[in-house]
Structure 1
Amino acid sequence: MDKEEIIKYCLTLEDTFKDCPFPDDFESVTMKHCKNKKWFALIMNVNNKLYLNVKTDPNYSDILRNTYDYIIPAYHMNKEHWNTIIIDGKVDKVLVKELIKESYKLTK
């Protein structure tokens, strides 16, 4: 799974768009709802690694972090409600899509 595949999947969700939220940073991308403009995903490169931040139910966050070594407390976001998925060769694509969809629902 790569950045373009993540963006493509996010855009399949109803009424969403891609945005570059940070001035002078054209690599980081937020995926937002058209109506409320809330983020449901943040995609960025950190130390040459692809990071995907998604919102999760706080009760589920610890389970995810303890189960998958590529899911960590969110990079530069509220660590209670957001997780970072380090996108690498071992990431479970089905799980990533499920977590994106859950984040989409939680931010709607």
Structure 2
Amino acid sequence: MDHTQAHTYLLSKPFSSVGQPFGEGVDVFKVKDKMFATLSPGKYNEGETRHWWLNLKCDPDEAQALRDIFDSVIPGYHMNKRLWNTVILDGTVPRGEIERMIDNSFLLVVAKMTKKQREAVQVYL
């Protein structure tokens, strides 16, 4: 999955929106004003390919398991390292797995909403 495909998938979630509150180059995806993902060009060293980085909320146990399985899943860059993972979009993580991680991040955020907000979103799931 590349950054364009990730962007499209993130915005396909019900009530999702994108903005750049941290400045140009860092897309922040929200569901009903609650952040569930960020997408930005990642760090790189001169001479290396620059990959996009996708930050996703994650269950703490699952977060560590994903880091153990995939070299391109690291603790959340500029995020709570226990609750967020960064997925480096370098092609090594299967698209279906990235979509599953996005879905989980979205659902974790929806689960913390008020009952009224949660029900409004769940109608579309």
- Using structure 2 for the length normalisation, give the TM-score: 0.79
1:76 paired residue number = 78
Contact 2:10/2:29, CA 8 A, preserved across alignment: yes
Q: Is the 8 A contact 1:20 1:30 kept in 2?
A: yes
1:65 matched to 2:67? The reply is yes
Q: Does the 8 Å contact 1:7/1:18 carry over to 2?
A: no
* 1:10 matched residue in structure 2: 10
**What is the letter of the counterpart of residue 22 of structure 2?**
F
The answer to whether the 8 A contact 1:31-1:41 is kept is: yes
Partners of 1:2 and 1:49 in 2: CA distance = 9
- 2:38 and 2:62 map into 1 onto residues whose CA distance is 19
Find the aligned partners of 2:52 and 2:34 in 1 and give their Cα distance: 21
- Pair 1:22 & 2:22 matched: yes
Q: Which residue of 2 aligns with 1:103?
A: 105
In 2, distance between residues paired with 1:14 and 1:103? 13
Structure 1: which 4+ aligned runs deviate by more than 6 Å? Answer: none
Distance in 2, Cα, partners of 1:66 & 1:89: 17
Q: CA separation in 2, counterparts of 1:52 and 1:22?
A: 15
Q: Which has the larger radius of gyration?
A: 2
TM-score normalised by length of structure 1: 0.90
Letter in 2 for 1:19: G
Q: Number of matched residues? A: 104
Q: Which has the higher strand share?
A: 1
Higher mean displacement: 63-72 or 42-51: 42-51
Identity of aligned residues (%): 35
Are positions 1:31 and 2:33 aligned together? no
Residue aligned with 2:55, SS: strand
Q: Is the 8 A contact 2:2 2:91 kept in 1?
A: no
Deviation at 1:5, TM superposition (A): 0.8
* RMSD, matched Cα: 1.0
